[in-house]
Amino acid sequence: MTIQEKRDRIVEEMSLFDDSYERFGYIIEKGKKAEGLADDFKTDAFRIEGCMSNLFLVPEFKDGRCFYSSDSDSPITHGITHLLCGLYSGHTPEDILSVDPVFLSEVGITQHLSSNRRNGLSNVTAKILGYAELQKSKSA
């Protein structure tokens, strides 16, 4: 599945919910069910700053593609970050850089987050896109 198809699927899934409470309930359930990280990765090297909760993002590059894993002690933060990791993982840096995470506001996610959670989400997307940019520059 292309990254654009993944994005479209997320938009479609989120549009099934009539209100933000249902949407966040769905995201929280995804966060609770999502696989976490081993304790070895829950270090300052992988910590996302600016988030109220403990949030970790582990990037990896193999076979020309980026992969991302995350964990958080907050189900909503973990759910949103897990959603982003699923979207961007398995794609080339060029593909990753072609999809702006602004679509999260289109589906009603970002506008209902506290300012601290929005800040954390911004930092997650910056790390994901920054890692893709780094890998792209290494292969140029």
> Could you tell me the CATH number of the domain that includes residue 115?
3.90.1010.10
The predicted-structure confidence for 58-72, as pLDDT tens digits, reads as follows: 999 999 999 999 999
Q: Which long-range contacts (CB under 8 A, 24 or more apart) does 135-139 make?
A: 135/61, 135/66, 135/93, 136/93, 136/94, 136/97, 139/64, 139/93
- For 44, the domain range is 3-139
The predicted-structure confidence for 79-93, as pLDDT tens digits, reads as follows: 999 999 999 999 999
Question: Considering its fold, how many domains does the chain have in total?
Answer: 1
| Global pTM value | 0.91
